[in-house]
């Protein structure tokens, strides 16, 4: 679990950096197929970055939880999986909100 915890903290650091850069308007880091029909690009970049930072915080919690756990447990892994599903659902809702009609 220590390895999983360290991996989660490393992933969280990367997600925070990428989310912060995209949140400030660097739309070139978002895949082109996602940007094809967006009508408000600055607002979409801000929300996209916020969702990545939210996933970063979920990864930090799961990483610290995995580092402090005594025995092997699937709870941090399941919690991160549920967090990813929630963030993906928020990505889909945001994409539909900012898509051109």
Confidence grade of residue 81 (pLDDT, cut at 50, 70, 90): very high
Q: How confident is the model at residue 101 (pLDDT cuts 50, 70, 90)?
A: low
**SS3 state at 38:** strand
- List pLDDT tens digits, range 43-68: 889 999 999 999 999 999 999 999 99
Give the residue among 101, 97, 88 at the shortest CA–CA distance from 52.
88
pTM of the model: 0.87
What is the reported pLDDT for 54? 95
CB 15 within 8 A of CB 41: no
Outline where DSSP puts E strands in the chain. none
State the Cα–Cα distance between residues 45 and 27, nearest whole angstrom: 6
pLDDT tens across 1-29, in order?
Answer: 889 999 999 999 999 999 999 999 888 88
Number of domains comprising the chain: 1
Tokens representing residue 89 in the block = 């659902």
Which residues form the domain of 53? 2-98
């Amino acid at each position: 679990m220590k390895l999983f915890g360290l991996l989660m903290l490393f992933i969280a650091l990367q997600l925070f950096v990428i989310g912060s850069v995209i949140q400030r308007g660097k739309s070139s880091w978002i895949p082109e197929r996602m940007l094809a029909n967006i009508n408000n690009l600055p607002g979409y970049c801000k929300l996209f970055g916020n969702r990545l930072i939210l996933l970063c915080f979920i990864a930090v919690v799961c990483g610290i939880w995995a580092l402090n756990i005594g025995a092997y447990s699937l709870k941090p892994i399941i919690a991160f999986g549920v967090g990813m599903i929630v963030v993906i659902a928020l990505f889909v809702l945001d994409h539909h909100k900012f898509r051109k009609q």
